[in-house]
Amino acid sequence: MQETLSPKTSDHPVEINSLVKAFGAQVVLDGISLNVKAGEVLAIIGPSGSGKSTLLRCVNHLEKPTGGTIRVCGDYIGYRRKGNVLREIGGRELARQRARTGMVFQNFNLYSHKTALENIIESPVHVRGVDVKTAKARAHALLERVGLADRADAYPAQLSGGQQQRVAIARALAGEPEVMLFDEPTSALDPELVGEVLTVMREIAESGMTMIVVTHEIQFAHDVCNRVVFMADGKIVEEGAPGDVLDNPQAERTQAFLGRFNARA
Amino acid sequence: MTQAAAANSAYIGNPVYAPRRHPVQLAIGLAVLAFLVLIGKSLFDNKNMQWDVVAQYLFDAHVLNGVLVTLGLTVLCQILATILGVVVAVMRLSDSRVMIPIAVGYLWFFRGTPLLVQLIFWYNIAALFPHLVLGVPFTEYYQVISTNTLISGFTAAVLGFSLHEAAYMAEIVRAGILSVNKGQKEAALSTGMTEAQAMWRIVLPQAMRVIIPPTGNQAINLLKATSLVAFISGGDLLSNVTDIYSVNFAIIPLLVVASIWYLVLVTVATIGQTYLERAFGRGYGNSAPGKPKKPQIDELSDARNAVSENL
Ligand SMILES: Nc1ncnc2c1ncn2[C@@H]1O[C@H](COP(=O)(O)OP(=O)(O)O)[C@@H](O)[C@H]1O
Ligand SMILES: [Mg+2]
C-alpha cells in the first residue's frame, strides 16, 4: 500500500488512504481515499447505508479501520507508528488524538444530566485543565456565538432540537479542534429548526474551520462547501466542486440520487 | 327545557375548577384505616405483648449496641459492595477477553453459593489456612501472621457480606450502565475524554437513576441479612435481643423491640434513597433538591425567534 509521506505540519489535517471497514463479512467502506485541506469545507452526500457515518466515525476512531490508514494532523489516529507497525493505543494518548476533532452527532448527544453551560465546559475543565472561570467565560462566548446566550442554565430536555444541536456545536468548538465532523446535524430536526443550525455551521465555515459535513442539505453543500463527495456502497463515486457534482453530475448513481432530491424540491 | 339544562347550555363566564372526586379511593382508605386501628388497639390492649417490657428494653444499652453494629455493618458492606460492584460491572462490559471471564466467574461463584456458607467460610478460614505469610517477592522479607488475628469475627462478616452483595450490585450497575444511550459515551470520547473519564463523569452519573432504586432494595435486604452474623460472631441487633430473651424469656416483646429498630433504620434508608434519587434525577424533569424546575412554556416560540433572528 502506498502513501504520501507528509510531515506532521501537513496542510492536510485529514488524510485517508485506501480505507476499508468491514463489520463481519459486510464491507461498509471499500477503499476510500480522501485528503482534506486546512480550511476546506467538504460535503459528503449519498444514500442511506452508503457508509458516510462509518467514515466519519473512523476519522475520530469511534470505529477501528479494517484496512488502509487515516491520519489526523499527521498522527495515525488510534495508533502509534513504529517503523512498519501501527500499534493500537488507548487511554490518554488516544484521547489527546481524538481531541483534535470535534464531532456533532445526528441526535445531538448532549449530556442529559448537565446544563448547556456544563456540557460546554466539561472537556475544557476535565480534559485540558482549563480553570473553571476561564472555561465558563469562553462557554458564554460560544453560547453567544450560536445564539443561545440566555439558555446557559437549561438542561437538554428543556431545549428544542435546534437549540440542542447548537449547544452540541458549541461543545465541540470548546475543545478547540483542528477539524469539525458533522454527521447529518439537521436530519433529526423539525423542518422549521433546520435553518438555525445551518446558519451557525455556515458561520463556522466562514471563520476558516476545516469541516467534513455529512448532509442531505443539498443547498447548504452547494452554497457553503468547497468540495462535494458522493458516496455509494462504501465507495467514492464522484467528487469535485459543488457546482460540478451537484449541478452537472457525471455518474449515473449521482444523477439518480440527486434526481430524487430535485423531484421532491 | 328545564332550568338546569338552560344553565348548562349557557356560556360559562368565570368557572371554578373543582378537583375530580375519588369515592373508591376514599372508601378503601377508610377501610384500611379502620382495620389498622382495630389491630393496633387489640395489640395495645393485649397483656401478652407486655408493652412495659418493650419500653424497658427499647433503649437498653445491649440493644443500642446491637443497633450500632447492624447499622455499621450494613453501611460499610453496602459501600464496599457498591465500589466492587462497579468494578465488576465495568469489567463485565469491557471488550477484554481477560476481564470478562473474571467478572463472569465472580458472579457465578458469589451469587451461586449461599450467603450463610460464605460467612461461615470466612469465619473459619483459619481452619483452612492457619497462617498467612505476607512477603515481598524475590526478597528475604516476609511476615507470618496468624489468620485469626487478621480475620476477626467482624472482618469475616464484612468480607462475607461485601463479596456476596457486590455480585448483586454488579448486575444492578451493569443494568444501569446499559440504560444510558451509547451516544453519551461516544460524545464524551469525541471531546477527548478517556474511557475511564467518560464512564465516571458522563455514564455512571446518568446510570445512577436506574441503579438507585434496586440498590435501596439491596441495602434494606442487607440490613436484615446482617442478622445472619448470629451464626458467627454475633453482636448485631437480633443477636443481642436474642441474648436478652434467652435469659428473661420475654420473647415477643423483645422481638417487637428489634422490629421497631429495624423499621427505624429502614425508614432512614428510604428517606436517604429519596434524596439520592432527586440528586441524580437532574435534567430528567426531577428537580434537584431545593431547585424547582422552571416551566418552559415559551420553548417553541424561542426556537422560532432564533430562526427568524438567524435568517
Ligand atoms: N456497528 C455496526 N455493526 C454492523 N453494521 C454496521 C454498524 N454500523 C454501521 N453498520 C452498517 O454499515 C452500513 C453503513 O452504515 P452507515 O455508515 O451508518 O451509513 P450512512 O451513514 O451512509 O447511512 C449500513 O449497512 C449499516 O447497517
Ligand atoms: Mg449516517
Please tell me the predicted confidence (pLDDT) of residue A8: 47
Q: Answer whether A23 contacts ligand 1 (Cβ < 6 A).
A: yes
Which of A77, A111, A150, A197 to mutate to test binding with chain B, by most B CBs within 10 Å of its CB? A111
User: Could you say which residues from 27 to 66 on chain A have a Cβ atom under 8 Å away from some Cβ of chain B?
Assistant: 60, 62
Q: Give the CA distances from residue A103 to residues A29, A213, B86, B287, in Å, rounded to whole numbers and listed in that order.
A: 20, 10, 29, 30
CA distance A136 to A123: 12
Kindly report each contact of residues B1-7 with a partner whose C-beta sits within 8 Å and lies 24 or more positions away, as own/partner.
Answer: none
Cα nearest neighbour of B278 on chain A: A113
CA distance B311 to B309: 6
**Reduced to 3 states, what is the DSSP secondary structure of residue A15?**
strand
Strands (DSSP E) along chain B, which ranges? 131-135, 142-146
Closest residue by Cα to residue B90 from B100, B81, B101, B82: B100
Grid coordinates given for B199: 464512564
Tell me whether A91 touches chain B (CB under 8 Å).
yes
CA distance B61 to B253: 16
Distance A23 CA to ligand 1 centre (A): 8
CA distance A20 to A235: 10
Please tell me the predicted confidence (pLDDT) of residue B307: 40
Identify the DSSP state of B230. Answer: G
- Residues with C-beta atoms within 5 A of ion ligand 2: A 53
pLDDT at A97 over 70: yes
CA distance A231 to A29: 10
Please tell me the predicted confidence (pLDDT) of residue A37: 95
Contact B92, B111 (CB under 8 A): no
pLDDT at A3 over 60: no
The C-alpha angle with vertex A179 and arms to A176 and A180, in degrees rounded to 5, equals 85
Contact B198, B185 (CB under 8 A): yes
CA distance A189 to B297: 19
Contact A214, A182 (CB under 8 A): yes
Q: Give the CA distances from residue A48 to residues A80, A106, A158, A252, A257, in Å, rounded to whole numbers and listed in that order.
A: 33, 13, 30, 17, 11
Which of B96, B184, B189, B191 to mutate to test binding with chain A, by most A CBs within 10 Å of its CB? B191
Grid coordinates given for B205: 452519573
In DSSP notation, B69-114 reads: HHHHHHHHHHHHHHHHHHHHHHHHHS--TTHHHHHHHHHHHHHHS-
Partners of A98 on chain B (C-beta within 8 Å) are 189-192
Grid coordinates given for A210: 476545516
Q: What residue spans of chain A are helical by DSSP H?
A: 52-59, 91-98, 116-126, 132-145, 161-174, 191-206, 218-224, 242-247, 252-264
SS (H, E, C) B125-143: HHHHCCEEEEECCCCCCEE
Task: Say if residue B263 is exposed, middle or buried (CB neighbours under 10 Å; 0-12, 13-18, 19+).
Answer: exposed
Distance A51 CA to ligand 1 centre (A): 6
**pLDDT tens-digit map of A209-232:** 999 999 999 999 999 999 999 999
Dihedral through CA A242, CA A243, CA A247, CA A251, nearest 10?
-60
Position in ligand 1 atom list of the atom nearest CA A24: 4
Task: Please list, residue by residue across B11-36, b when 16 or more beta carbons sit within 10 angstroms of its beta carbon and e when fewer do.
Answer: eeeeeeeeeeeeeeeeeeeeeeeeee
β-pair type (A85-88, A79-82) = antiparallel
Please tell me the predicted confidence (pLDDT) of residue A263: 65
Q: Are B283 and A114 an interchain contact pair (Cβ–Cβ within 8 Å)? A: yes
Cα distance between the two ends of chain B: 59
Please tell me the predicted confidence (pLDDT) of residue B172: 97
Please tell me the predicted confidence (pLDDT) of residue B150: 67
Closest residue by Cα to residue A116 from A177, A168, A194: A168
Please tell me the predicted confidence (pLDDT) of residue B49: 83
CA distance A243 to A226: 9
Among all chains, which residue has been given the C-alpha cell 470466612?
A: B122
Please count the CA atoms within 13 angstroms of the CA of B178 that sit on its side-chain side.
10
From first to last of the 311 residues of chain B, give the pLDDT tens digit: 455 555 566 777 888 899 999 999 999 999 999 999 999 999 888 888 888 999 999 999 999 999 999 999 999 999 999 999 999 999 999 999 999 999 999 999 999 999 999 999 888 886 677 777 777 777 778 777 777 766 678 888 999 999 999 999 999 999 999 999 999 999 999 999 999 999 999 999 999 999 999 999 999 999 999 999 888 878 899 999 999 999 999 899 999 999 999 999 999 999 999 999 998 988 876 444 444 444 444 444 444 444 444 43
Structural element, H or E, at residue B172: helix B153-178
The protein residue with its alpha carbon nearest to ligand 1, atom 20, reads: A49
Q: Answer whether A51 contacts ligand 1 (Cβ < 6 A).
A: yes
Contact B53, B260 (CB under 8 A): no
The protein residue with its alpha carbon nearest to ligand 1, atom 9, reads: A54
Pocket test residue of A26, A28, A60, A229 for ligand 1, highest count of atoms within 8 A of CB: A28
Q: Answer whether A52 contacts ligand 1 (Cβ < 6 A).
A: yes
